[in-house]
C-alpha cells in the first residue's frame, strides 16, 4: 500500500539514464533535450520528490536560516519573523524558528540544535548570550542580531534607532506644553538606551527629567511603577518604554479616576497590534518589526556591506493617537476625543540621523 518513496535511482532506471544525468536535469546542468524529456516524464510517472536531507548532507548546506526568538506570542517578534521570511522566500530559503523564552540556556541549546541541522545562517532576536558563549555555540555560522540584548560582539546587528524614537516622543509632548514628564523604564538593554535617550531629549528640550521608574516592560510592572509616578502632582505626561507598560499605566490611572489625555498624557513604545484599540487609542513609537526582520535576513545572507559599521539602525515613527493632548494647566483643555471615536492617526517619521 504505502510504498517507499522513489529515489533518484528509480527515476534513472525508469528513464533509462544514469543518476548523474537525472541529478543534472534536476539542477539545471547540461542535459540533452531528449534525456530531459524522458526524465521529466519518469518523475511525473513515479511522483518523485527530491530528498533535501540527503542533498544537504553532500552539499553541506540546508537552505535554512535558524531564527532564535523569545516567543511567538509577542506581535513584535512575529512581525520580525515575517520580515525574515520575506527575504528568505526571495532566495528560495526557509526559516526554522526556535523560541528561547528569554532563557540564555535555552538560547544556547537552540543555537546548537540549529547548527546540528546545518543551518546556513542564524538570526538572533534579543540575544543575551555573552560574545564568547555565542561564538562557541555558533561556530562559523554567519549571524545577524536583531535588537541584541547582550553586549556587542563582532556580528552585524539591526537595532531600532531608539534614541530617535524617544526624541520624537519627548518633542511631541514638549510641543504640546508638557513640562514635567515621567518615564516608565525597562531593564533590558534597549530599555536602558531609551532611558538615557529620554534624559538627553529632555535636556535638549530644556526640561528637567521627571521621575523615572522601572516597570520591567510588563503590564504588571507598568501598573506598579505607575503608582509611584502618579503620586507626583506636577507630572502631566508619562513616556513609557513599552506599550505593555502603558497599558498598566492606563489601568492604574483609570483606577484613580485620572482621565487620559485630559489629566495625563501617555506615550507608549512599540505600537503593538492593539495599541490603537486601547482606551484611549495610544500615542506610541512604532517599531517597524517587519523591516527589521528583513534587514537582518539580508545581513545574514549577504554579510554586512560595510564591515566597519556592524550596527544598522532602523528608524521608528511616532504614531499620534488620542492618549496625548495639551496639559490642563495650559488653558482650556483641548477637547478630548469623543469617547469612542477611533482616533485619526498622525504619523511622524523622524529624519534619520546618519550613524556616527
Residue 21 interacts with DNA (CB under 7 A)? yes
**Positions 185 through 204 that interact with a second copy (CB under 8 A):** none
Nearer to DNA, 27 or 329 (CB): 27
Q: Chain centroid to CA 151: how far?
A: 18
**Positions 42 through 101 that interact with DNA (CB under 7 A):** 48-51, 54-55, 57-60
Nearer to DNA, 7 or 336 (CB): 7
Residue 103: Cβ within 10 Å count? 13
Q: Which of 118, 152, 157 is nearest to 138 (CA)?
A: 118
Residue 125 interacts with a second copy (CB under 8 A)? no
Residue 73 interacts with a second copy (CB under 8 A)? yes
Residue 19 interacts with DNA (CB under 7 A)? yes
Place of cell 560574545: 131
Residue 94 interacts with a second copy (CB under 8 A)? yes
CA angle 345, 278, 79 (to 5 degrees): 75
- Of 53-61, 161-169, 199-207, 226-234, the window that binds a second copy (rule: CB under 8 A) is 53-61
Q: Which of 35, 113, 141, 212 binds DNA (CB under 7 A)?
A: 35
Total of residues contacting a second copy (CB under 8 A)? 54
- 3-class SS of residue 138: helix
Q: Can you tell me the distance from the alpha carbon of 77 to that of 277, in angstroms, rounded to the nearest whole number?
A: 20
Residue 28 interacts with DNA (CB under 7 A)? no
- Looking from the CA of 116 toward its CB, the CA atoms found within 13 Å total 6
Q: Which of 1, 3, 5, 95 binds DNA (CB under 7 A)?
A: 5
Residue 19 interacts with a second copy (CB under 8 A)? no
Q: Chain centroid to CA 356: how far?
A: 23
Nearer to DNA, 64 or 224 (CB): 64
Residue 255 interacts with a second copy (CB under 8 A)? yes
Q: Which of 14, 85, 100, 162 binds a second copy (CB under 8 A)?
A: 85
Residue 342 interacts with a second copy (CB under 8 A)? yes
Task: Work out how close the CB of 230 gets to DNA at its nearest, in angstroms, rounded to a whole number.
Answer: 59
Q: Are 24 and 31 in contact (CB under 8 A)?
A: yes
Question: For 169, phi and psi rounded to 5 degrees?
Answer: -65, -45
Residue 140 interacts with a second copy (CB under 8 A)? yes
For residue 274 the three cell numbers come to: 492593539
Q: Are 302 and 288 in contact (CB under 8 A)?
A: no
Nearer to a second copy, 118 or 205 (CB): 118
- 3-class SS of residue 312: strand
Q: Can you tell me the distance from the alpha carbon of 214 to that of 195, in angstroms, rounded to the nearest whole number?
A: 10
* Core vs surface per residue 114-150: b (16+ CB within 10 A) or e: bbeebbbbbbbbbbbbeeebbeebbeebbbbbbbbbb
Interface with a second copy (CB under 8 A): 2, 5, 47, 49-54, 56-57, 62, 71-73, 75, 78-79, 81-82, 85, 94-99, 112-113, 115-118, 136, 139-140, 247, 250-251, 253-255, 259-260, 273-274, 277-279, 338-342
Interface with DNA (CB under 7 A): 4-5, 7-9, 16-21, 23-24, 26-27, 29-35, 48-51, 54-55, 57-60
Amino acid at each position: 500500500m504505502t510504498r517507499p518513496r522513489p529515489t533518484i535511482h528509480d527515476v534513472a532506471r525508469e528513464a533509462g539514464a544514469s543518476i548523474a544525468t537525472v541529478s543534472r536535469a534536476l539542477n539545471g546542468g547540461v542535459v540533452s533535450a531528449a534525456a530531459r524529456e524522458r526524465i521529466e516524464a519518469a518523475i511525473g510517472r513515479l511522483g518523485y520528490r527530491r530528498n533535501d536531507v540527503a542533498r544537504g548532507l553532500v552539499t553541506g548546506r540546508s537552505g535554512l536560516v535558524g531564527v532564535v526568538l523569545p516567543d511567538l506570542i509577542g506581535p513584535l517578534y512575529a512581525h520580525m519573523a515575517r520580515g525574515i521570511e520575506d527575504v528568505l522566500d526571495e532566495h528560495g530559503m526557509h526559516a526554522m524558528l526556535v523560541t528561547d523564552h528569554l532563557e540564555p540556556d535555552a538560547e544556547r541549546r537552540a543555537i546548537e540544535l540549529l547548527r546540528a541541522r546545518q543551518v546556513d545562517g542564524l538570526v538572533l532576536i534579543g540575544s543575551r548570550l555573552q560574545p564568547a558563549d555565542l561564538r562557541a555555540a555558533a561556530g562559523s555560522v554567519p549571524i545577524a542580531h536583531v535588537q541584541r540584548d547582550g553586549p556587542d560582539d563582532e556580528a552585524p546587528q539591526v537595532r531600532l534607532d531608539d534614541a530617535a524614537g524617544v526624541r520624537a516622543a519627548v518633542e511631541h509632548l514638549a510641543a504640546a506644553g508638557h513640562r514635567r514628564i515621567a518615564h516608565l523604564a525597562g531593564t533590558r538593554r534597549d530599555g536602558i538606551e531609551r532611558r538615557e535617550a529620554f534624559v538627553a531629549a529632555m535636556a535638549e528640550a530644556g526640561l528637567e527629567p521627571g521621575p523615572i521608574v522601572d516597570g520591567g516592560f510588563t503590564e504588571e510592572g507598568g501598573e506598579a511603577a505607575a503608582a509611584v509616578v502618579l503620586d507626583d502632582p506636577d507630572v502631566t505626561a508619562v513616556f513609557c518604554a513599552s506599550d505593555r507598560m502603558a497599558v498598566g499605566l492606563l489601568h492604574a490611572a483609570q483606577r484613580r479616576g485620572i482621565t487620559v489625555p485630559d489629566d495625563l498624557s501617555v506615550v507608549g513604545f512599540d505600537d503593538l497590534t492593539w495599541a490603537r484599540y486601547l482606551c484611549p487609542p495610544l500615542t506610541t513609537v512604532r517599531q517597524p518589526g517587519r523591516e527589521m526582520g528583513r534587514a537582518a535576513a539580508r545581513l545574514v545572507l549577504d554579510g554586512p556591506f560595510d564591515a566597519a559599521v556592524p550596527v544598522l539602525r532602523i528608524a521608528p515613527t511616532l504614531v499620534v493617537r488620542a492618549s496625548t493632548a495639551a496639559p490642563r494647566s495650559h488653558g482650556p483643555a483641548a477637547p478630548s476625543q469623543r469617547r469612542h471615536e477611533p482616533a485619526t492617526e498622525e504619523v511622524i517619521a523622524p529624519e534619520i540621523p546618519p550613524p556616527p
